[in-house]
Structure 1
């Protein structure tokens, strides 16, 4: 049974179609790695899968509240501590315990530190730890290892493998090897739009807040 099914999907950026004809099925325990040159549309595709911007064409099928998205922003409240940030997101998504998330990304010693006082790598670890408290089975990850050192990449990879082992799934835009031998690779080059076709933007849609 698919946790996420995509059929003949086309997405656009800035009014121009980026990729088209994308189809895949993601089952429990499955991981899909998006590859392609910068600017091909990996972020746009992930944002469309997350429901943050409309697709141009095609179908996205997933259970309600199945998807958690981690983009380039860490999504932290600067004045709150690391633990308070996790509790905030846990309450938003249904009250998952934060202890496992703190441990998974080695944040115990930073639990009481305000987010604004964290380094870029520490903020990234905290932003990724949010995924664990969502309780959602499908993780969409856009270059998740940015700002992470080698040890932190290993922590994240272990967290991701544990998520897949529990029956979760993930779509990841990354060029970093995460030790996921079962992951499928989706090269987006063949799906690049055949010509730069301008798309009418949906009424009332504002890309700045998409």
Structure 2
């Protein structure tokens, strides 16, 4: 097991906060006056039926979209005013895996490390892929991997990105039972290092520090 994740500073105030945010898509209001707080060491599990606005809420929390009303804050500062600072600490994984299909798993990790401005040694890159069952597949084109194996590449990216805030949209999709346990263990490690997680999932989760928000 590779020990890449740093321990993040403990904050005595809410690290990620939404104040009275509302979301409108087309002519439909998905939710309004929504408040939430996520502290270091906590995981917020957002639940709800399809179409209630789970993905839209995640996009608001990342800053990829703006709320109709209200604001999202990182350590007390509006993320729209501190975008660079916030995004440097953020990892967002949406429905699309965002992997480069023509590159190998190893090349994907090294590419995203370069984009993120992170020094990632070849040893750490290999160790991360091996941890999630990709030994022997490091140099295969991602296009040759199964959906579950692509998710495992993303799990390696979560480990190597070193972001304090993880926002994950249905991260357990396409994972078998063993990989689900591995991802929950990875999230638990992140929380122990004072990271924080916001995720959506339709399945019950067993993660320490878990809180639930039903939309």
Matches of 2:137 and 2:152, distance apart in 1: 11
Question: For 1:48 and 1:99, how far apart are their aligned partners in 2?
Answer: 34
Determine the structure 1 residue equivalent to 2:20. Answer: 8
Identify which range, 43-52 or 102-111, moves more after superposition. Answer: 102-111
Residues 188 and 208 in structure 2, CA contact (< 8 A), matched pair in contact too = no
What is the aligned counterpart of 1:148 among 171, 175, 189?
Answer: 175
| Kept in 2: contact 1:5–1:25 (CA 8 A) | yes
The alignment of Structure 1 onto Structure 2 pairs a total of residues equal to 188
Q: Which of 117, 120, 128 does residue 147 from structure 2 map onto?
A: 120
Instruction: Please state how far the C-alpha of 1:111 moved relative to its aligned partner.
Output: 1.0
CA distances 1:19-78 after superposition (whole Å, capped 9, x unpaired):
111111111111100011111000010011111122111111125222211111111101
TM-score (normalizing by structure 1): 0.83
After the TM superposition, which parts of structure 1 deviate over 4 Å for at least 4 consecutive aligned residues?
A: none
In 1: Cα distance, 2:194 partner to 2:127 partner? 17
On the 8 A contact 2:126/2:138 being kept in 1, the answer is: no
Q: CA deviation at 1:11?
A: 1.6
Over aligned residues, Cα RMSD in angstroms? Answer: 1.6
* TM-score normalized with structure 2 length: 0.81
Q: 1:6 Cα deviation (Å)? A: 1.1
- Cα shift readout 1:157-197 (whole Å, capped 9, x = no counterpart): 11111111111000111122331142111111xxxxxxxxx
Deviation of the 1:100 alpha carbon:
4.9
